[in-house]
Amino acid sequence: MTFDRARIYQGVAAAGSAALLLGWAPNALAQASAEATRLETVTVQGNHLYQMLPSEVTGGYSVDAATVGTKTPASLRDIPQSVSVVTREAIEDQNFTTLDELGRRTPGLRVLSNDNGRSSIYARGFEYDEYNIDGLPAPMTSITGSVPTLAAFDRVEIMRGPSGLFNSTSEMGGIVNLVRKRPTHDPQGRISVGAGTDQQRAAQVDVSGPIDGDDGRVRGRLVIDRTHHGEFVDRNTNRQNDIYAAIDVDLDDATTFGLGYIHNSKDIRVNNGHPVGPSGELLYGSRSDFYGANWNDFDSYANDWIAELTHRFDGGGFGRLAARYSDRNAGYNYAFGGSALDQNELLTVAGIGSRIDQQAVALDASYSQPFAAFDSVSEFVLGADYKRFDTDTESGRSRSLTGSRVTRGELNEISYVDVLGAARATGRGYAHTDTRLEESGLYGKLTLRPVDPLALIAGTRVSHYAVDFEDLAADNDQDRSGTEATPYAGVVFDVDANHSLYASYSQVFKPQTAEGPDGNLIEPREGDQYEVGVKGSYLGGDLNARLSAFRLYDDNRAGTPPDTGASYAVPIGKMRIQGAEFEVTGSVTDQWDVIAGYTYLDTEVQQSGDDREDAIFLLMPQNVVNLWTQYDFAGEALGGLRVGAGMTAMSDFNSSSGVEAPGYAVFDAMIGYDFNDNVSGQLNFNNIFDREYYNRVGGVNTFNMPGAPANVMATLSYDF
């Protein structure tokens, strides 16, 4: 997309904080100087904190600041944890349409694949169970289909490891923050259409600009996107629709009010994967086979409303009030294999149906202020937040829909069964629960530089939580509430102009819905992480690198008391997860971009009351390598041509059911061409060597998911 960067930058400066959420600026803490004039500029004006352009304008694969896990914008070198940022250009070059597609190629992430938009995304052995939009959380689960699409977002910020200071009741794996595309001061637009093998199709319109004439104090943006994902599995249709609308209003030169709305709907004929063969073997050579009924169905819709008020104070302070309301509904009804194949290639048929209603509210108020101390620049952040997640789930299961074994073809053609309705009528396999999680908290963080190369970071959060779990089918209600303090500490030492050493301690807690011996819910799980590493920033911040090592403990996991036969749970589980990561992201030159990473993961169940406590960890390969690079021939003899190539490789993994998958490497490629300033085309080739592999394994009957065969997607775009 073509932009006038100078005009946009002037507009951002004139509008004050209108650009704050378009892209966070490099934190002044990473550039502090003892010079009085420099210090005065930072503390009085504060412009260096909040004037970074969005990644769709700056281009390339790097940004030098993020907000995930920090609340205020901070230089990547000043965040003493593992953070990655995937820019708009990287998203488009690799043709990502959903967050789970992005996760498959992002260093440090592991995706347990399902239908696109219904996968589970993991980091350091734990599933991301929330995702933030501009720092405001809502639940994310594969079963509700709430994995977001990317049409509305400028970039994706990913933090690995506990982030309890600002997200205290989240999972141990970390936080994903999606930064919205924002309305622009200048008119702009893009229309793109795409088509590919396996019936892939896509179309998108993205228009933005002022809606009050040339003044630009009122700006709007509209994105409409429709995607039909590839159907390499027979009958496995997957259609998704998105609408994003936003308006930003400059109330004065320092104050901006913004509203945003995001709608997503999914219509999927569910594919639940393959069974295994008679000897427990994976079914290579049959990746297009569909082990489901023709009436398999998943439908969902999600609506998110976002409002925010931002103000830049004289002296450099910045205040923000923000709110998000999410409303999700999902329903599904499908049949799948209920057993392994026998010697005659017959299997039983199981079924599941569900209805899920979910609402989420998130509120946040924060104030940040840089200040002078020890002849340098320090900063504090104070704030309060509130969130409430309500989930009503009604489900039904059947172990046998046919009464006898059938062939795969007969499974495809079985008569329609309303699985939820049948379970509701008989009570067999029926469940109905209503869960509410509510939390309010006060938080504070201080970054202090007692000497110029050293930053000391300390923070704490005090949270009050209440969780209520109602089993409506059994007429049983349990709850638990309490107050938790969550500390945070970190240190960053600038070795030289390009390198920083860091260490951090972070914590998080997670309420549980298992019933204890007293009839109430057991105490929350607790996560503690220790991380050390070195970060590098090169070529003026265009290229960033990180080498880190971590150890993470997960305590108080629910389990059955050993040797008692009890039906209740106690918090006895303890896990230890440790590993190392290496990542390089950014632009080597103005024309050459790269994303490369290696992840090593080692897990141990130290105490458990459940023989299958390590089930998820078994699915995490010990070694993963991710690579993507792109070269633009602009200004050369082949001007207009862009080429890219990538690889995803991992070592072997297995499931708790004993299904084993060997490691694999898959290669992808891209060719793009800019026909003129307005028209461009792109070809994305996936699995170019047509490697046959399984990217996930599960039970003997289901969730063994083959990877897609070689495929290509062509996209044509017009910018105006």
Q: Residue by residue, what is the 3-state secondary structure of 474-503?
A: CCEEEEEEEEEEEEEEEEEEECCCCEEEEE
Q: Is 645 exposed, middle or buried (0-12, 13-18, 19+ CB in 10 A)?
A: middle
Cβ pair 23, 54 in contact under 8 A:
yes
The pLDDT value given to residue 520: 85
The H or E element that residue 467 is part of is strand 454-471
Cβ pair 506, 529 in contact under 8 A:
yes
The pLDDT value given to residue 364: 97
d(CA 615, CA 120): 14
Query: How many helices (H) and strands (E) in the chain?
Result: 9, 36
Tokens 């103005």 locate to: 590
Cβ pair 231, 237 in contact under 8 A:
yes
Q: Give buried/exposed letters for 51-89 (b at 16+ CB in 10 A, else e).
A: bbbbbbbbbbbbbbbbbbbbbbbbbbbbbbbbbbbbbbb
- Of 91, 86, 44, 52, which is closest to residue 72 (Cα–Cα)? 52
> CA triplet 709, 712, 718: central angle to 5 degrees?
155
The helix, strand and coil proportions of the chain, stated in percent and rounded to the nearest 5, come to: 10, 55, 35
Cβ pair 501, 534 in contact under 8 A:
yes
- Of 274, 392, 389, 387, which is closest to residue 339 (Cα–Cα)? 274
Phi/psi at 13 (5° precision): -60, -40
The H or E element that residue 9 is part of is helix 5-15
Cβ pair 441, 385 in contact under 8 A:
yes
Residues 6+ apart with CB under 8 A from 589: none
d(CA 274, CA 411): 13
Phi/psi at 458 (5° precision): -140, 145
- Of 540, 628, 533, 447, which is closest to residue 64 (Cα–Cα)? 540
3-class secondary structure, 39: helix
Answer whether CATH 2.40.170.20 is correct for domain 5-719: yes
Beta-sheet strands, E only, within 495-640: 499-510, 525-538, 543-559, 570-587, 592-607, 623-632
pLDDT in tens, 254-273: 999 999 999 999 999 999 99
Residue 284 neighbours by CB distance under 10 Å = 12
Query: What is the per-residue DSSP string for 375-420?
Result: TEEEEEEEEEEEEEEEEEEEEEEES-SSSS-B-HHHHHTPPP--HH
Cβ pair 95, 715 in contact under 8 A:
yes
- Of 548, 413, 496, 505, which is closest to residue 84 (Cα–Cα)? 548
Cβ pair 466, 479 in contact under 8 A:
yes
Q: What does pTM read for this prediction? A: 0.90
- Of 69, 165, 73, which is closest to residue 123 (Cα–Cα)? 69
3-class secondary structure, 711: strand
C-alpha to C-alpha distances, 558 to 20, 410, 525, 677, nearest whole angstrom: 42, 41, 8, 58
Domain borders along the chain are 5-719
| Low-confidence residues in the chain, pLDDT < 70 | 1-50, 563-565, 609-613
Q: Give buried/exposed letters for 102-112 (b at 16+ CB in 10 A, else e).
A: bbbbbbbbbbb
